[in-house]
Structure 1
């Protein structure tokens, strides 16, 4: 069971949850909490009232007067299922592959951008990656409940599968071509690596080309979640999204 405390994360989890699949713990009052209680009632989620102190003991931290315990808040998806669902008529598809993103705040922020730009699927590896947690849910402002994503055993294998489905695969790297100079129409997959290590050499070797966000600053690079938002925007802009 996952325990969520952020308003956005709780609201989106309740909107996407099956009926009766969780418990809402309430110690506070106010219009936002009443709205959350109404959502819980519509989903037949149990509501338990606690004192502020008891809720703090339950969550292990300060809270905003409400917490949600729910079985599973991420969309039920599989990478194989996504590939099987692609039809010949679908052209401007966008897939994001995350290599070594271990900071849950970064993962949450990336998923938030993925939701905003309607990324069709996000792949994260089973190892050396942040997983679905309360921090990810809160950092994504609830986007984790709507973005199709799943863990895969091997990202290089996932890239090969995407290529068989007509995707061009681009790795994000500081030495890559300026992203606004690259044709990103059609079926596109973007690989993002960690800020320190970047994309692994093996995975980079399977990419068709490398792209970069043009910058003029003095620090080494953009935060990976910021870069993700810019890259996803540019792809969708070129795809007349």
Structure 2
């Protein structure tokens, strides 16, 4: 494996130095002027489906009411009732048609939770999660991901691979919704998501705190050679446009996924999964 300082391309117009001495990981708090407050809109959301609902009941999500389909399987009924009682929640039996109406016909599997809108984490929450695990930060930055199923799938992979948090923009991107929660199969309860107003400014702040920033592009280093040890953040671009040009300028190094077939693109969540586990491999060698 090549030395770390030879893998990182120095940014233009800056003196080349050893990365380990130039950018040291700094876990201390700094001000984040572009960061969203942790409390989001007060609109009601719904979590539905067995796995997503169980994780929500076990987690810290603020739940207003539990809807159980009349005649649902006894094992599911007992499980949900036991979890709800622990939290002192109201349980409402209702016909399938009522639950269908609540979630607009989606597959709820006989369980729907009425919750307050999801609260977002802060950037410092992400750092604190890494510190609590005694690990160097490994963050994902999602540049204008629009499909809630992609975000849910990315959350699921991020949780499986030990990613410490995800950063998304406030505008022109999918937010945390019931569809995202359902697709994540409960991972939304375990991976903190921070929402910011300006990704470029956030990336610069992460650099000040010692992180190396990697992006995805058609022209870059083979992702299988990526050394993700240390404090790193990986940017996943928009499903169609990739990483925005201005944000791309702030990336330390680009990674590419080789393709030999006729289709020269991958679904955003599939590409993210490959890259996340490539990072996992170098951070957790055999």
TM-score normalized with structure 1 length: 0.91
The 1-side partners of 2:86 and 2:45 are apart by: 20
Which of 53, 61, 64 is 1:22 aligned to? 64
Contact 2:130 2:164 in 1 (8 A): no
Contact 2:46 2:113 in 1 (8 A): yes
- Number of matched residues? 238
Look up the match of 2:111: 66
The 2-side partners of 1:98 and 1:169 are apart by: 12
The 2-side partners of 1:85 and 1:108 are apart by: 20
After TM superposition, give the deviation of residue 4 of structure 1 in Å. 1.6
- Greater Cα radius of gyration, structure 1 or 2: 2
The 2-side partners of 1:18 and 1:166 are apart by: 32
SS state of the match for residue 23, structure 1? strand
Look up the match of 1:13: 56
Look up the match of 1:79: 123
Per-residue CA distance 1:46-88 (angstroms, 9 max, x = gap): 10111222332333315422211112455x521144457876x
Look up the match of 1:95: 139
Q: Which runs of 5+ in 1 are unaligned?
A: none
Contact 2:236 2:243 in 1 (8 A): yes
The 2-side partners of 1:126 and 1:24 are apart by: 29
Is residue 4 of structure 1 aligned with residue 47 of structure 2? yes
SS state of the match for residue 195, structure 2? strand
What is the CA RMSD across the aligned residues, in angstroms? 2.1
What does residue range 11-50 of structure 1 map to in structure 2 within 5 Å?
A: 11-17=54-60, 21-27=63-69, 28-30=71-73, 31-50=75-94
The 2-side partners of 1:201 and 1:185 are apart by: 26
The 2-side partners of 1:35 and 1:91 are apart by: 35
After TM superposition, give the deviation of residue 165 of structure 1 in Å. 1.3
What does residue range 198-237 of structure 1 map to in structure 2 within 5 Å?
A: 198-237=242-281
After TM superposition, give the deviation of residue 182 of structure 1 in Å. 2.9
Which of 145, 148, 151 is 2:195 aligned to? 151
Q: Per the alignment, do residues 102 and 240 of structure 1 end up closer, same or farther by CA in structure 2, a change over 3 Å counting?
A: same
The 2-side partners of 1:176 and 1:117 are apart by: 23
Look up the match of 1:193: 237
The 2-side partners of 1:183 and 1:109 are apart by: 24
SS state of the match for residue 211, structure 1? strand
